[in-house]
A and B are shown apart, each in its own frame.
Chain A
Amino acid sequence: MNLTVRLFARAKDLAGADRLTVDLADGATVADLRRALAAACPALAGLLERSAFAVNGDFADDALSLPLRAEVALLPPVSGG
């Protein structure tokens, strides 16, 4: 399945885009997505290791299987306030 991931802050700058699309096997997990993004955009690798993911607006563990047509976002460490 093709999955598009929203990017923010430094991740967006490193990728030069506010979204990245990767091709994943059906049933792939967040951990698989993390590896696929690092392969697709090596500049993101360091930040990816310490970023979280959101799936349909909720924080997602690495073990979560990605549902089809989910809205997925890469969330680098937050710094609001």
Chain B
Amino acid sequence: MVRLTTEPIDYHALTEQVRRPDCGAVVTFLGTVRDLTDGRVTVALDYEAYPGMAEKMMAEIEQETRARWPVGEMVLVHRLGHMEVGEVSVAVAVSCPHRAQAFEACRHAIDRLKELVPIWKKENWADGSTEWVHPGA
């Protein structure tokens, strides 16, 4: 299951959602708003997406992850809009029969999400300036 939301991510509920009797391992990754980037202080981030394509790419990532690991259930959720330091911007929850598979599948999904999904963040620095983040400049 994949989803974009503007509401806070209920990661406890997402973790419960992927639990199954045949899966002995559940891994949940949370991406949270960090207060420091390359020595500069962040107070908040704003996220925007290209909505239709972002969800489509997230669904493809779920499919490719399921093709490589014996995933029971998985959920990818990205939050959009304004988030303060410490808030959860993204969550990936995966269940598998065994822990190595669950760790690998979760790692793969978040890495691919960061590489492919058309979502962008804007830094709100402590000095009041803002800056879109476009890696590779």
Chain A contacts to B: CB under 8 angstroms: 6, 8-10, 13, 47, 50, 54, 57-58, 73, 75-81
Q: Point out the residue from A6, A9, A73 that lies within 8 Å of B120, measured CB to CB.
A: A9
Query: Known contacts A8-B118, A8-B120, A54-B50: does B56 contact A77 (CB below 8 Å)?
Result: no
Between B122, B134, B135, B136, the greatest number of chain A beta carbons within 10 A of the residue's beta carbon is seen for B134
Do the beta carbons of B135 and A77 come within 8 Å of each other? yes
A10 to B48, CA, bound (A): 11
Query: Which residues of A sit under 8 angstroms from B114, Cβ to Cβ?
Result: 78, 80-81
The interface on chain B, measured as residues whose beta carbon lies within 8 A of the other chain's beta carbons, has a size of: 29
Shortest CB–CB separation between residue A65 and chain B, in angstroms? 20
A81 to B54, CA, bound (A): 12
Do the beta carbons of A57 and B90 come within 8 Å of each other? no
Shortest CB–CB separation between residue B67 and chain A, in angstroms? 19
Do the beta carbons of B121 and A80 come within 8 Å of each other? yes
Shortest CB–CB separation between residue B66 and chain A, in angstroms? 20
Instruction: Decide if B116 is an interface residue (CB 8 Å cutoff).
Output: yes
Between A6, A13, A57, the greatest number of chain B beta carbons within 10 A of the residue's beta carbon is seen for A57
Do the beta carbons of A9 and B53 come within 8 Å of each other? no
Instruction: Decide if B19 is an interface residue (CB 8 Å cutoff).
Output: no
A53 to B57, CA, bound (A): 14
Instruction: Decide if B39 is an interface residue (CB 8 Å cutoff).
Output: no
16 A-B pairs in the complex with CB atoms less than 8 angstroms apart: A6-B50, A8-B120, A9-B122, A10-B120, A13-B132, A50-B137, A54-B50, A57-B52, A58-B53, A75-B118, A77-B134, A80-B47, A80-B78, A80-B120, A81-B78, A81-B110
